[in-house]
Amino acid sequence: MQLLIDKEINSEDKILKPDFNSKTGRELLAFYLQTKFKQILAFDKKCETPIFKEVSPTFISRFTKRLINNPSKRLLVGITGESASGKSTICQEIKKTIEQLNLPVSVLSTDNYFKDISELIKQYGSFDNLRDNGYDIDAPQSFQLSLLKSDLEALSKGENIMAPRYIPNGTGVSIPHSQEVRSDKVIVVEGIATMYEEVRDVFDVKIYIETENDIRRERFVRRALTERNQDEENALKQWEYLLSAGKKYVIPNRDFADFVLDGNSDLKYFDKILEYLNTITNNFM
């Protein structure tokens, strides 16, 4: 990918910078991006471990049409996948790289839109008892999806929001209007709820991270033991729940993704793809 970046920077065959305030200029940019994006996919297919497992055949035309017809709308990128698939890691990598390219970016986790279940947890004595008695925390009805949708729509229009904050300490407490999320040029949203039916159409780019179960299991158990103070028995019980919930609620949304990415791919390579995209959108005469 560095070869493509260097070739783009050093090329003498460049086009004049279009007037992005005009529809004609945006149409020229859209055609240019379509050509360059096909180059990225062709390059990726030749890699030993491609990052793109699947690409929606309609994405390029849909995305460029959006750029042409609604240029003022903020770019919303949704990232989903099963637990421990690498959603948060890739999300933070996107944020880091975009910031290095001097583009403003905000990050939002849909986990903060879990409903407050603190009274239910008190009633059952613990979160684990509540889960073992059938509470399905990953089900769509366990999220504040109407609020999430309205917040995403506000962000897309350039409005800052005050998002809720869910406390992941087993108490089930959700604090409303507790963290500001700025409506920056790029807004990256990650979490299992990102592609639930009620909210998925808000996003301009929908990414599904897919990783083998044995890798996910190792990541999840390690994180549970070292970061969440769970014992191994409870961590494994939670893992079995997540496998079941993933099949019901997360995997079906794979079909709505623009990209299915390999969650075990080289993040440095992923960074270079983002750098190349920035280069081609700014490297005009």
Domain boundaries, the chain: 1-51+267-285, 68-264
- The CATH number that domain 68-264 falls under is 3.40.50.300
Residues in CB range of 67: below 8 A, 6 or more apart: 26, 29, 30, 33
pLDDT in tens, 223-248: 888 877 677 888 888 899 899 999 99
Mean pLDDT of the chain: 87
pLDDT at 16 over 70: no
pLDDT at 30 over 70: yes
DSSP conformation letters of 167-228? -TTTT--EEEEEEEE---SEEEEESGGGGSTTTGGG-SEEEEEE--HHHHHHHHHHHHHHHS
pLDDT in tens, 249-279: 999 999 999 999 998 887 777 788 887 777 7
Hey, what are 48's tokens?
């030993």
How confident is the model at residue 108, as a pLDDT?
A: 94
> From CA 128, how far away is CA 69, in angstroms rounded?
49
pLDDT at 178 over 90: yes
